[in-house]
């Protein structure tokens, strides 16, 4: 078994704006090494379309083994129209799915926080989103994205049939629910579990297993069950009723994207994908912004690096237990926003537009 190297980061910038935003994180890691003597080790390699262009595969075995031995991966973004027509198994996004599956990164944490400086950027009324702070915990390695059988096959009448299978087991459900309950204990102590138990047997199992875990180990946490479609509606109607939402892979994919847009910009929101801790307390994890590769603005120096920087803050918190340093980095981001600096995607009247690198440098200048 490959041993995890403490405090080693693997940077996978990926495609589009990925190299630009990950570049700002690299500068921050170097600042911590110089000013806080944290001795972070950095490795960097290709993934996604960049890897396909050079090696003919979205992730090489060499890079995958690097991922196995590092404590955390910082991913930029993968994909883009350039690779739309290549074989499905070699599409850039397959690198992401392989890392999630093979590293057993089963819990995806997606915070949806509305920064007070950017309330006006949301499409909802300020009173609806002001102070919003939701954590969505999405199961990441099961469900319909990975279930078998799957595929497209011809049928007797000359048509074709597409098949995907939605399955979950007790252990898959309970391990991600445990993550949600533990997070809730450190927040507002409230979990909303979402499924479609009214029409799906897998959804009914989800509801029953979450309830059983709650009754056995987490009676102190408030638990509510909600149908996923109702949750989508409630996120628009009254999002501040939620604290932690836990749901499956498919619904989590949709609900987390919806929740992110309540905040005004995808360029601000980080995510973490966590595995289980082994007997030595080691945990593999991957951190990435929730935005895509945005090839239309790649190379222009206008991408917002904040989501990637905040993803690194999550790495400090969840992988390294460096809460103080994570808090300091998050406060630095807030300070820069307070001063009115904005990248193009979040620019508003009276604010100062800055480039990707200037935003990164400004955040570094606020670190203490």
List the structure tokens of 326.
């994570």
Exactly one of 15, 243, 253, 345 is catalytic; which is it?
Answer: 253
Burial class (CB in 10 A: 0-12, 13-18, 19+), 89: exposed
Exactly one of 26, 91, 145, 218 is catalytic; which is it?
Answer: 145
Q: Does residue 10 contact residue 44 with C-beta atoms inside 8 Å? A: yes
Q: How far, in Å, CA of 173 to CA of 166, rounded?
A: 13
Nearest one of 19, 22, 21, 38 to 30, comparing CA atoms: 38
**253 in active site:** yes
Long-range CB contacts (within 8 A, 24+) of 180-184? 180/137, 180/244, 180/245, 180/246, 181/213, 181/214, 181/217, 181/218, 181/221, 183/109, 183/135, 183/137, 183/244, 184/221, 184/243, 184/244
Axis crossing angle, helix 61-69 with helix 93-102, rounded to the nearest 10:
40
**52 in active site:** no
Exactly one of 43, 45, 257, 361 is catalytic; which is it?
Answer: 257
**296 in active site:** no
DSSP three-state, residue 199: coil
In 3-state terms, the chain is what percent helix, strand and coil (to 5)?
45, 20, 35
Backbone torsions φ then ψ of 143, nearest 5 degrees = 75, -160
Exactly one of 196, 218, 243, 318 is catalytic; which is it?
Answer: 196
- Residues annotated as catalytic (active site), given as ranges: 145, 196, 229, 253, 257
């Amino acid at each position: 078994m490959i041993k995890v190297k403490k405090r080693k980061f693997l940077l996978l910038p990926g495609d589009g704006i990925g190299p630009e935003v990950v570049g700002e994180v690299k500068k921050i890691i170097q600042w911590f090494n110089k000013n806080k003597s944290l001795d972070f080790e950095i490795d960097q390699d290709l993934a996604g379309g960049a890897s396909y262009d050079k090696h003919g595969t979205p992730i090489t075995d060499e890079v995958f083994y690097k991922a196995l031995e590092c404590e955390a991966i910082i991913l930029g973004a993968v994909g883009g129209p350039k690779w739309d027509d290549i074989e499905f198994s070699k599409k850039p996004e397959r690198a992401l799915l392989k890392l999630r599956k093979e590293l057993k990164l089963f819990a995806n944490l997606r915070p949806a926080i509305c920064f007070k400086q950017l309330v006006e950027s949301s499409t909802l009324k300020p009173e609806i989103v002001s102070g919003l702070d939701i954590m969505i915990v999405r199961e990441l390695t099961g469900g319909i994205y990975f279930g078998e059988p799957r595929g497209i096959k011809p049928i007797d009448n000359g048509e074709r049939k597409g098949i995907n299978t939605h399955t979950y087991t007790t252990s898959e459900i309970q391990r991600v629910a445990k993550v949600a309950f533990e997070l809730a204990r450190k927040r507002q102590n409230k979990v909303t579990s979402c499924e479609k138990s009214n029409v799906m047997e897998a959804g009914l199992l989800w509801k029953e297993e979450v309830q059983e875990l709650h009754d056995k180990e987490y009676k102190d946490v408030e638990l509510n069950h909600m149908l996923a479609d109702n949750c989508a509606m409630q996120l628009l109607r009254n999002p501040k009723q939620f604290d932690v939402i836990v749901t499956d892979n498919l619904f989590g994919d949709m609900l987390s994207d919806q929740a992110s847009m309540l905040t005004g910009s995808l360029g601000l929101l980080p995510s973490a994908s966590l595995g289980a801790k082994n007997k030595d307390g080691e945990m593999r994890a991957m951190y990435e912004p929730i935005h895509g590769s945005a090839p239309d603005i790649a190379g222009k120096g206008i991408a917002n690096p904040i989501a990637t920087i905040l993803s690194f803050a999550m790495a400090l918190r969840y992988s390294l237990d460096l809460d103080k340093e994570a808090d300091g980095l998050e406060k630095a981001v807030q300070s820069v926003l307070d001063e009115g600096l904005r990248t193009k995607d979040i620019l508003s009247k009276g604010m100062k537009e800055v480039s990707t690198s200037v935003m990164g440098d400004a955040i570094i200048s606020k670190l203490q």
